[in-house]
Chains A and B, each alone.
Chain A
Amino acid sequence: MRYSTFLIQRVLLSVLVLLGLSILIFVIARVIPGDPARIALGPLASRSQIEALRAQMHLDEPLYAQYAYYLAGLLRGDFGESLYTHRAVAIDLRDLFPATLELVFYSGLLMVVIGVPLGIVAAVWRDRWVDHTVRLVSLAGVVTPAFVWAIVLMLVFAYALGVLPVAGRLSPGLVPPSAATGTVTLDALLAGNLRAYLDFLRHLILPSVSLSLAGVAQAARLTRASMVDVAGRPYIEAARAFGISESRIALKYMLKPSMIPTVTILGLDFAALLGNAFLVESVFAWPGIARYGVEVILRKDLNAIVAVVMIMGLFFVVINFCIDMLVGYLDPRIRLRQMEDAA
């Protein structure tokens, strides 16, 4: 299959998935509970108020028409007004989402920068103490919920040792850089405010480490497993027979092919970071989307809920798409297999 055909097919599939997600959320939000207008206005609303809002929300029209209005709104980025903040949901998201995205981005970076080298080290010194240590650390990473890491790390590094800040994104006295993008990294660097950026990094360490530990563990396990899998292949023996240095064999001949399965799973893990960010943000009072998300769920604020879930879905789909493209590029066999599946 040509790469362009593969690309088009993947785009269509992603659109299909988003469409499916929008239908699912529509069904959950509009069909299962009682009258959305009554929920929106509360128990004290009069009959005529409810009637008016029902008409405004197109609730008297057939379901497919309601879905069309809803989908048109989503496509315009118009999620309606939040009952919780009394502002447009899109504005709320614009204020809160960048902080979450930034946390997720740095955590994903840690996942790769720490996890993959740990896996390489474990695979090279297989069955030695390094390997056993990495395995234990990975196990601890996988079985511990992010919020437990958050609390333990906070106790040790922020309270007991006092070397890192307890919570928040910037120190209270610090003048924040003007909010151009909402992310401190870009805003601070655009404004040339290095002090704010370094302060931000100090605040970032504990949340991003708590969030990424499960992913680091997964990355280390996968890298190790696929490198060990490759290690027994004849071409590695051949490389050795040619007298190529061990480090070159490990980093070039073993690592490269073993990255293909690793990249796929890491992509999924990276996408899952967004969900887990909910758990970590609430511990560290990170000014992201988590508290908003939980609050709107508890208050049954349907417009905001739809927006939060759709944005999580969109993030997930975009990441999956990028991973598919990357893997399809790295490994042409995957494109072939897709073609066989389709046939």
Chain B
Amino acid sequence: MNAVAVAPAREHLRRTWYAFSRNGGSVVGLGIVVAIVLLTTFAPWLTPFPRHARAFTDFEHAGLPPGRPYALGTDTIGRDIFTRVVFGYRFSLLLGVVVLTAAVPTGVLLGLLAGYYRGWPETVIMRITDIFLSIPPLALALAIMAVLQPNLQNAMLAVSAMWWPWYTRLVYGLVSSLRTEGYVQAAQIVGASPAHILLREILPNCLPAVLTKMTLDMAFVILIGSSLSFLGLGVQPPDPDLGTMVADGAKYMPDLWWISVFPGLAILVIVLGFSLLGDGLRDVFGVEV
């Protein structure tokens, strides 16, 4: 029985991989994301100077250019840039995961309700969504940061607040077309509860699009997060954050260029990884987001 069950599953996996890997970029993206996740998970063992991740001073080795043993050089108080970049990735990933965990369920639930219940729930939810969508993203984040203390938690809150409406709009669009499908009507006729119809019949068919958008959005959340820290409104020192590091290094241009250039490139790499991966998923699922 197992052999019968496993064979189609393996075949399915093989085909999925084929669709995914047809575009070389997707594989590169997957590679980058996996490498960064592994690197950050085992950061204390894989980085040469784990103690440099937080407050630490070593003025004897301050401002050293890239070389040995500091692959990407050291900052103005002697901390290894490579170590701090790897630990900085932890904050980027944390920000992305927390923001999406908060924003996606909220947005999806509201989208489901607005798309399924026509009438006032639709009007209220979609008008509020429109208003949120019509505010320039960074302005909303800035407004929220304005009243809260600048730190990682509040940056997460601010970015989440601007992110959910995109999912509401996406799911709303999907549900509007799915609700007239035969299987949904069949479920309605046999008397299934709205909760069952929404969560068991409609939601699973929205997931490919939501998952693809989440991967692409990891890239943009990280980008916005680094922009907030660059402005001094995100992660605060001594915690390492890529945006903060770029901003600090910018003061010592051009002599100590490596302090800001390498963290800047590191942002590029992680954003590139998630967008390529997202593009690959879009090809596999064949969805528009």
Contacts and interface: CB of A to CB of B under 8 A. Distances in A.
Chain B associates with chain A: yes
Interface residue tally on B, bucketed by range: 35 or more
Interface string A109-128: 00000000000000000000
B196 to A, nearest CB: 29
Interface stretch (A25-33, A87-95, A201-209, A255-263): A25-33
Given A155-B257, A279-B230, A28 B136 contact: no
B138 A278 contact: yes
Interface stretch (B48-56, B74-82, B183-191, B246-254): B246-254
B143 A305 contact: yes
B135 A151 contact: no
Contacts, number: 139
Nearest to B219: A143
Interface string B215-230: 0000100010011001
Contacts of B130: 17
Residue of A21, A148, A275, A300 with most partner-chain B CB within 10 A: A148
B137 A275 contact: yes
Interface residues of A, number: 50
B250 A151 contact: yes
Interface in B111-150: 127-128, 130-131, 134-140, 142-148, 150
A297 B139 contact: no
A152 B230 CA distance: 15
A274 interface: yes
Interface in B246-268: 246-247, 249-250, 253-254, 257, 260-261, 264-265, 267-268
Interface string B267-281: 110011001000000
Of B147, B247, B254, the most chain A CB neighbours within 10 A belong to B147
B233 interface: yes
Contacts of A148: 246, 264-265, 267-268
Interface stretch (A191-199, A306-314, A326-334): A306-314
A281 to B, nearest CB: 10
A293 B136 CA distance: 15
Interface string A289-316: 0000110111010100100110011011
Secondary structure at chain A's binding surface: helix, strand, loop or mixed? helix
A309 B145 CA distance: 12
Contacts of A142: 275
B199 interface: no
B255 to A, nearest CB: 9
Given A151-B260, A282-B231, A298-B232, A305 B136 contact: no
A147 B134 contact: no
A168 interface: no
Interface of A: 16-17, 20-21, 24-25, 28-29, 32-33, 139-140, 142-148, 151-152, 154-155, 159-160, 271-272, 274-276, 278-279, 282-283, 293-294, 296-298, 300, 302, 305, 308-309, 312-313, 315-317, 320
5 contacts: A21-B134, A139-B272, A143-B271, A275-B136, A297-B145
